[in-house]
Amino acid sequence: MSEHPLWPTQLDQAGRALAAESARYAAMGWMRGTSGNLSVVLGRDPLRLAVTASGMDKAELTPRDVVVVDEHGAAVPDQPGPARRPSAEAGLHARIARVSGAGAVVHVHVLAPVVAAERWPHGVALRDLEMLKGLGRGAHDDVVTIPVIPNGQDMRVLGDAFEAGFRADTPALIVARHGLYVWGEDLYQARHRAECLDWLLRFVVETASGPVGPASAPTGNGAAEPTPVLSERGTP
Residue type, 111: L
Contacted entry of ligand MRU, Zn ion, none for residue 219, CB cut-off 5 to 8 Å set by kind? none
Are 139 and 130 in contact by the 8 Å Cβ rule? The answer is yes
Q: Which of 33, 138, 150, 220 binds ligand MRU (CB under 6 A)?
A: 33
Provide the mask over 163-182, with x wherever binding to Zn ion is found by CB under 5 A and - wherever it is not. ----------------x---
Output 48 or 84, the one with its CB closest to ligand MRU: 84
Q: Which of 21, 65, 70, 89 binds ligand MRU (CB under 6 A)?
A: 89
For the annotated binding site, the residues are: 107, 109
The region, left, alpha or beta by phi > 0 then psi within -120 to 50, assigned to residue 55 is: left
Task: Map residue 29 onto helix, strand or coil.
Answer: coil
For the annotated binding site for Zn(2+), the residues are: 107, 109
Task: Map residue 143 onto helix, strand or coil.
Answer: strand
How far is the C-alpha of 136 from the C-alpha of 116, rounded, in Å? 21
Q: What is the DSSP letter of 171?
A: -
**Is position 88 an interface residue for ligand MRU (rule: CB under 6 A)?**
yes
Contacted entry of Zn ion, ligand MRU, none for residue 55, CB cut-off 5 to 8 Å set by kind? ligand MRU
**Is position 39 an interface residue for ligand MRU (rule: CB under 6 A)?**
no
Contacted entry of ligand MRU, Zn ion, none for residue 88, CB cut-off 5 to 8 Å set by kind? ligand MRU
Question: Min. distance of Cβ 88 from Zn ion in angstroms?
Answer: 8
Alpha helix locations (H) across the chain? 7-27, 90-100, 111-119, 155-164, 187-207
Contacted entry of Zn ion, ligand MRU, none for residue 65, CB cut-off 5 to 8 Å set by kind? none
How far is the C-alpha of 123 from the C-alpha of 194, rounded, in Å? 17
Give the phi and the psi of residue 75 in degrees, each rounded to 5.
Answer: -60, 135
Binding segment (CB under 6 A) for ligand MRU, from list 33-41, 119-127, 141-149, 219-227:
33-41
Are 73 and 91 in contact by the 8 Å Cβ rule? The answer is yes
**Is position 221 an interface residue for ligand MRU (rule: CB under 6 A)?**
no
Question: Min. distance of Cβ 89 from Zn ion in angstroms?
Answer: 6
CA distances from 104 to 67, 168, 196, 202, 208 (A): 14, 15, 17, 24, 32
The site for ligand MRU (CB under 6 A) is made up of 33-37, 52, 54-55, 87-89, 107, 109
